[in-house]
Amino acid sequence: MSSIPSGELAERIRQTGARRIVLQIPDGLKRQAVPLVRALRAEGIEVAAVAGDPCYGSCDLSLDAVALTGADLLVHIGHAPVDEREGVLFEHLPFDFDPAVVAAAVPLLTGPTVGLVTTVQHAHLLEGVAAVLGEYGIATEVADEGGRTPLAGQVLGCSYANARALTAPEILYVGTGVFHPIGVQMATQRRVIALDPYTGDVQEVSADRLLRRRFALIERARGAESFGILLSTKSGQARPALAERLLALSERAVVITMREVTAAEMTNFGCGAYVNTACPRLAYDDQVRFPVPLLTPQEFEILCGVRAWEDYAIDEI
């Protein structure tokens, strides 16, 4: 992708009336931070600081850096907002691909209508994708539920509202990786096709293997002498009421607040298992990094006997 457009960004910042900003950039783009600061300074923007903590989403706003430096605006690059915030300018970065690539998915689509979902950086291309599918006689449906996913058709690893709202029996995910489409499948129980728009690879995804692993983890966690209920302190990941409710389910449970959930911090506490109320992806996608089971809230409810196995549900915020 091209570098962050500093001229347009400076104009948007000026329009807010901000006097002094803090810049927040996701980890994969941090190398562009120093050149961007210089370009913004050349445009007359006062940059008090760049936020240097790890950042993977707009659920993790560096509001502490704004307060500390006396800035009056946080410019958050790369993500659409998961919640309403004053004093934050969200600048997500569109990543283009050629909508014609969706032709590769046509042989796997069975219905007359398909629902479309994607991630933030490709949401602007869904219209083009729909047009191409139309040429193949396939009708499309895109949901615009809002909430944590303000862009039409957008899904997040913590929110599948724009998938669940679809009525089509079949859903096409356009984007990289299988994490999001597996989430769509778990959240909707529909048939889900994933298309990588850069490689043209297309596949039907299934949550079965993930679910078998999760069920095994619940069993492994059962014998834990203590459970650490992880409570995130990040702006858009903190679920204190949920942590409190889970704490009440077991005398073996203790709430542990964490900013970054790491294997090192977990190991320090020595609990036999943990329960994740932070970013849902940590449990589903990062279990391999952790030495002991990291259960979702729903999985812990199953372990504690207050939820039936048949009522297994994906964790969303």
CB of 256 to its own copies, least distance (A): 4
- How is 153-215 classified by DSSP, letter by letter? TB-BTTB-HHHHT---SEEEEESSSSHHHHHHHHHH-SEEEEE-TTT--EEEE-SHHHHHHHH
CB of 244 to its own copies, least distance (A): 8
Residue 66 to residue 88: CA distance in whole angstroms:
10
**3-class secondary structure, 232:** strand
Q: Of the two residues 114 and 275, which places its CB atom closer to its own copies in the complex? A: 275
What are phi and psi for residue 104, nearest 5 degrees?
-65, -25
CB of 249 to its own copies, least distance (A): 15
Which tokens go with 218?
Answer: 């619940």
Residue 94's Cα: distance from chain center in Å?
Answer: 16
Q: Of the two residues 102 and 243, which places its CB atom closer to its own copies in the complex? A: 243
Residue 118 to residue 297: CA distance in whole angstroms:
26
Q: Of the two residues 13 and 126, which places its CB atom closer to its own copies in the complex? A: 13
Which tokens go with 257?
Answer: 């607040």
CB of 57 to its own copies, least distance (A): 16
- Site residues for its own copies per CB under 8 A: 22, 27, 30-31, 33-34, 37, 47-54, 62, 64-65, 68-70, 226, 228, 230-231, 233, 238, 240, 243, 254-260, 265, 268-271
Which tokens go with 109?
Answer: 């689509």
Q: Of the two residues 71 and 105, which places its CB atom closer to its own copies in the complex? A: 71
Q: Of the two residues 238 and 304, which places its CB atom closer to its own copies in the complex? A: 238
Q: What is the DSSP letter of 156?
A: B
Q: Of the two residues 130 and 249, which places its CB atom closer to its own copies in the complex? A: 249
CA distances from 84 to 175, 235, 262 (A): 26, 11, 28
CB of 257 to its own copies, least distance (A): 4
Cβ(48)–Cβ(71) below 8 Å: yes
CB of 11 to its own copies, least distance (A): 21
CB of 29 to its own copies, least distance (A): 9
Q: Of the two residues 34 and 139, which places its CB atom closer to its own copies in the complex? A: 34
